[in-house]
A and B are shown apart, each in its own frame.
Chain A
Amino acid sequence: MSGLPLVALVGNPNAGKSALFNALTGARQKLGNYPGVTVERKAGRLSLSDGRPVELVDLPGTYSLDPTSPDEQVTRDVILGKQDGEKRPDALVVVVDASNLDNHLRFALELIALGLPTVVALNMVDLATRDGLELDANILSRELGVPVISTVAVRKRGLDHLRQELDGLMNGAPAPYTKGPAADFDTVRSEARRIARAAIVRETPSRRLTAAVDRVLLHPVIGFIILLALLFVMFQAVFSWASAPADMLEGWVTALGEAVTNTLPPGIVHDFLLQGVVGGVGAVIVFLPQILILFFFILMLEATGYMARAAFIMDALMARVGLSGRAFIPLLSSFACAVPGIMATRTISDPKDRLTTILIAPLMTCSARLPVYGLIISAFIPARDVGPGIGLQGLVMFLLYVFGVVGALIAAWVLRLTVTKGQSSGFLMEMPKYQWPRPQDLLIGLWQRAVIFLKRAGTIILFTNIVLWVLMSFPKAPDGVRQSEYSIAGRIAGGIHLLVEPIGFNRDISLALLPSMAAREVAVSAIATVYAIDAEDDVEALDKGLGERLQGRWSLATALAFLAWFVFAPQCISTIAVTRRETAGWKWTGFMIGYLFVLAYVAAGVTYWAAVAMGLG
């Protein structure tokens, strides 16, 4: 916590709060967590016009101070000064959507009644104009008793004005006049309505873009096909768009490795840097482009307002397995990473619904598994087209995702009939207006994801690789014995190998399984390290791509079984930790680990035996 004055940004969901937050703070944001809960804390620094810094915190959107889900609880607690680790805000910026005034003003009135210094940002006035609404901010300000600034966050309009008003508030301008404690819900609502009507100067019924687009996108058949097509394009893009930048990164990693070889004398330091650090971490870093492309699509779907439509389309299907369309959003986020996915279940109010969603979230193929899939697919699946614009590699990748999804739906269905039995909860959701996202907002989002990924590569993945390298390098194997088998790690892997041999896993895989629990991507770097160590100073072998070396040592059946394992296997330590925190204990976490292990073992086994039977062994 900084000692700076704290200003909280608060408002209804879809009021354009995050865009305003980005416009006010730029890229200087800090992501963190509130202690004890997994709701993300987003804070940034803002300079007032006299240069004085204040800390701006972006609170989760909510409809009232009467929370129905855990993330809304945080907003309420921060504003009331009851949240651990956060002082009570010194001032509030209440964000309202100009084209949805009567609804958003009700919450604004509730907030103003708290008596904190407040300024209202009348946001997205441009979209209101598009909707045929003309508003008078002065009337609004007079009626509410607080300053009201018209803003268009995405075009940076009104921001200086907003800063000036904050200036005034922070310099001891009088707090709003309040008529005492908040009145009951209906009274506040009619008051909000009255004020909204007073502030609307002109209202012409106009053709609404959103309604027209929805006629297509929410169509029961066409909408469903469009959603599937979108997802398909997304996964194809992950493969095809990423290849050029990934090759470039790989070139850099190779160059770095050569630089190490050329500058350092042969010896333990040289081996450590080349095999443990450059080889291991480098093998993971080349997947940054794919991960960013995936996040780009997810951020786009969120920012345009399409995500809520996807939930609408999926609700009927989700209802069949006892979930709601709302669960689709955390599940789709889990394709990027299960940790934010599981955190996003905090918007689901029904506890059993939420628990089921958490339990199946790891079955959505997260981006950390992309390196594993990417490596195996490019090594074993030929790069040819099976149709116009449809590559076989992309298709296999898509199928792996589909297996995860189908497995998740079946798992949810079984869970809802057994351990998480209960009445299925409803589906109530706002469908936001469509918007074209501002490129900067997307870039900030991508930048944050890139930093998180690189931090992982530099900390947890690097650390695991170093430990692994040490375990694999000692004791030194005598001539004629493979180092990866003779070492400590090799002996541990030997034990694991006994368990996984029936499902077609070789010793390399056995060795990779354990460290891959720290982070999925480590499976790739672990295998890379195995081959780097075994190759020793065989420069020719090191020059060969990892994929090429795999082709020589794995059968296709083994490779397919390995892929099937990774579709279902229990996920990394971070996922397990967040599950433990979210389900408040080890009971459901242990259950999750157990059922996923069984699923993974069976899936890999069936794949292996089937492939061998077809003569691919």
Chain B
Amino acid sequence: MTPADGFDVDDAGSGTGLTAGTPAVDEAVLRGLVPRVLGALVRRGADFAAAEDAVQESLVEAVRTWPASPPRDPAGWLVAVAWRRFLDATRADAARRRREAEVAAEPPLGPVTGGDDTLWLYFLCAHPSLTPASAVALTLRALGGLTTRQVAQAYLVPEATMAQRISRAKRTVADVRLDRPGDVATVLRVLYLVFNEGYSGDVDLAAEAIRLTRQLAEAVEHPEVSGLLALMLLHHARRAARTTPDGALVPLAEQDRTRWDTDLIREGVDILQAALARDRLGEYQAQAAIAALHADAPTAQDTDWVQVVEWYDELVRLTDSPVARLNRAVAVGEADGPHAGLAALAGLDPSLPRHDAVAAHLTERAGDVERAARLYEAAARAAPNLAERDHLTRQAARLNAARRP
């Protein structure tokens, strides 16, 4: 399919329709409608797997017929066709007679209420009865429209395993009847996981997380949704500067800030400011505020570390997270000097991930090079990933080399 002018998704219900003479259907636009259509079917009583099959068939039908006769309301068209396919399939399956009776009793199909149905699907895919890994997989499959193979490749597991993980997740939520909105926080946690713990592969999971969070922000007004979106944009802006061409990590202080994406930063800051203005602070807004302060500094030395510490205080208050306290110690070290940073570190559990790395950094700045080298060595041994281990090993090697006569 070739990209075409297509229709405006936001305006899909108002009769704009496909541009006359459009030769093909815009696949990206079609994919963007899937969550609404799937959400509409599931909400009207179709089980997840059957709804997905029906939506798939409606897409095939759309690609076939839309070029010749574009619908006035593409989302409504897809829901109507998919619903009909679902009923056909249900009728054809004798074993599903009971369910047919149930869905027949459902009220007739009303107008498609875009945002609501999409939102509903987000809550279902992040339902608390799912494990985080299952929620991530189901979200990428049902909301992101990725194939099972793509999700499997992204998380480095065999396709058969991912297929099982997804179908178990669908079974788990099959009987969930959401009669009220779920907790937005559960949805945000899943999207955060997709963004932050994504593996690299053919699928750009960070970009996918941003797309899904944008879509969520369109469906629901919530300052923390905006906060998470801003957080993602502000970190995504640094992507080009975060690693060397051979994959080594470049710490924030050493990044070439001219390579940060200023458009993404501007957008992230605007979204964050609008969210903060609503005066309902949450952990994602606080994290985004910290990222925005870094984005605002032309060099690491110009960072407003006092404000960074204040935001970490907020974050600690909101989350009571030991990781936030650890990062706060780093900021205190920059704002008030390494001894103050080490004092802030003193009360924390030494078994925290990255504790030794933070201690090494502050100890070196305090002038105890020998002890810093030992701490970097210990931090490298405990590093949870290869890129960090390599970085910490180089730090230890640098200090050890400097100490040799």
* A and B interact physically: no
